[in-house]
A = this chain, B = another copy of it.
Amino acid sequence: MSYKIFVTGGCRSGKSDYAQGLADRIGKKKVYLATSQALDDEMRARIKSHQEKRGPEWETCEEPIEVVDALKKLAPETDVIMLDCMTLWTTNCLLAEMSDEEILQRANALAQAFVACPVSVVIVSNEVGLGIVPDNKLARRFRDLAGAVNQKIAAAADDVILSVSGIPVAIKGSLPKI
Contact = CB atoms under 8 A, between A and B. Distances in A.
Interface string A134-178: 100001001111111011111100001010111101011000000
A38 interface: no
A169 B166 contact: no
Contact of A10 (B6, B12, B130): B130
A11 interface: yes
Q: How many copies of this chain sit in the oligomeric assembly?
A: 3
Contacts of A133: 11, 128
A134 B133 CA distance: 10
Interface of A: 6, 8-14, 125, 127-134, 139, 142-148, 150-155, 160, 162, 164-167, 169, 171-172
